[in-house]
Structure 1
């Protein structure tokens, strides 16, 4: 059985960055990528709606549960859902992300069949070095 990506096309020659332009981390990560020779497709979460299906695919690529993509310490999150929300399933977390993209923890970089959450913008360097 093959598990191919349906909605998010993956390509080794192109880097996709899911980020929030309203955050320093997102903008710095994008700046690093733009300075490279790689083709970059940037998806600004503050302007572009990412679907539940796409979030599910990203979580699968990252090998994490959907709720791990959410910063539950974010002030907007706490204000709306409290410090320890009782969201029973992935559907609830997906709705939360679709409606509040600001609560996504950090930029997510997709390159080919690899995805990584970016903690430090300089981490992207490993993806933009010339490959042989």
Structure 2
């Protein structure tokens, strides 16, 4: 059993208010008529266990959650490809949550990477129409 509560009647958004895609996605999510739990990772600590659960449900590595082109990441690690273990990637997210590569939406068992606010709009339209979502089901 995971530590992140999953509820088909609630949308959980993990985002960073320190980047434009996070701010835009938050603006799209908040007017929703559904219950929203918006977690701004730049203000609210997300545990390593939660990050690991998110990555697992998205079927990606923890390192894939990190924007290695972000100025904070480059300042610390440079521009060369970095090969770290899962624990080190977790420490980066815990110390510098601003490097989160993209917002993540969770609704029920579905986890969605938001690379553009339109991804969220498509997700909600599919959900409203009862269409089976082409997203990772956790």
What is the TM-score with the length of structure 1 in the denominator? 0.90
* Greater mean deviation of Cα atoms: 47-56 or 110-119: 110-119
CA-based RMSD: 1.3
Aligned counterpart in structure 2 of residue 59 of structure 1, from 44, 55, 58: 55
Aligned counterpart in structure 1 of residue 6 of structure 2, from 7, 10, 29: 10
Do the aligned partners of 1:33 and 1:128 also contact (CA within 8 Å) in 2? no
Q: Which runs of 4+ in 1 moved over 4 A?
A: none
- Secondary structure in 2 matching 1:85: coil
* Structure 2 gaps, min length 5: 131-138
What is the count of residue pairs matched by the alignment? Answer: 127
Aligned twin of 2:109: 113
Per-residue CA deviations over 1:20-47 (Å, capped at 9, x if unaligned) read: 1122211111111112211110000110
What is the TM-score with the length of structure 2 in the denominator? 0.86
Aligned equivalents of 1:8, 1:70: Cα separation in 2: 20
Aligned twin of 1:48: 44
Shift of 1:48: 0.4
Aligned twin of 1:25: 21
* Greater mean deviation of Cα atoms: 10-19 or 121-130: 121-130
- Secondary structure in 2 matching 1:8: coil
Aligned counterpart in structure 2 of residue 37 of structure 1, from 33, 40, 56: 33
Are positions 1:85 and 2:82 aligned together?
yes
Aligned equivalents of 2:102, 2:9: Cα separation in 1: 23
Aligned equivalents of 1:126, 1:10: Cα separation in 2: 20
* Structure 1 gaps, min length 5: none
- Secondary structure in 2 matching 1:43: strand
